[in-house]
Amino acid sequence: MDKPFSQACENNKEPILKVLTQHFSECKSILEIGSGTGQHAVYFAKNLRHLTWHTSDAPSNHAGIKLWIKSDPSSNLRKPISLVIGLDSWPETVYDGVFSANTAHIMQKYEIKLMMELIAEALPKGGVFCQYGPFKLDGQYTSQSNADFDVHLKSNGYGGIRDIEDLQYWARGMELCEQVEMPANNLTLVWKKR
């Protein structure tokens, strides 16, 4: 089996790292929800040595994540656990930071609602959640390409691009502190547990 590869991960890893370097500076243990190929995990763990990076995803993606970890290991990077929102229980480990990239628009509405609620409940006071992807602002797309992408997502059975206002409603207990503009009409939303 060859390592899975995402060009999008290669393109966005450095801009995301700049945000994480700032907002995860006080964190010790990060849970990545939806580690995908594993590329982000390998890159971020290597560049954020002060914290432990825990990968998670559906079991079908574990083999690829493990290949990336094996090819570029870091002592602070952990092998994936099974975490499918709505199926698996929230992990028992306490994380003071959570990261998730390009998951909100893949998940169905009940899944992303539950994910926001679980993170808001599980993070300790002062904990940080950094969430990357395309989002709608006040019901409006940030670009025509995102509007077209949303049509594509929904026609393929995915949940579609989420409105930040909905995420805020579901994430009660967390405060949206910052919306960082990113390449390709994406944002990184920075949430903090009150």
Residue showing tokens 């207990």: 173
Indicate the class that CATH gives domain 7-193.
alpha beta
Mean pLDDT confidence for 81-110: 97
Look at residue 122 and tell me whether its pLDDT is greater than 90. Answer: yes
pLDDT of 145 reads 97
Per residue in 135-191, pLDDT (tens digit) is: 999 999 999 999 999 999 999 999 999 999 999 999 999 999 999 999 999 999 999
pTM listed for this prediction = 0.98
Mean pLDDT confidence for 107-122: 98
Report d(CA 98, CA 23) in Å as an integer: 11
Report d(CA 162, CA 74) in Å as an integer: 34
How many other C-beta atoms lie within 10 A of the C-beta of residue 169?
A: 11
Kindly state the tokens that stand for 105.
């628009």
Mean pLDDT confidence for 22-34: 98
Average pLDDT of the chain is 97
Q: Is the dihedral of CA 80, 43, 18, 150 positive or negative?
A: negative
Q: How confident is the model at residue 1 (pLDDT cuts 50, 70, 90)?
A: confident
Q: Is the dihedral of CA 5, 91, 87, 105 positive or negative?
A: negative
pLDDT of 138 reads 93
Report d(CA 161, CA 157) in Å as an integer: 12
Q: How confident is the model at residue 35 (pLDDT cuts 50, 70, 90)?
A: very high
- What residue ranges do the domains of the chain occupy? 7-193
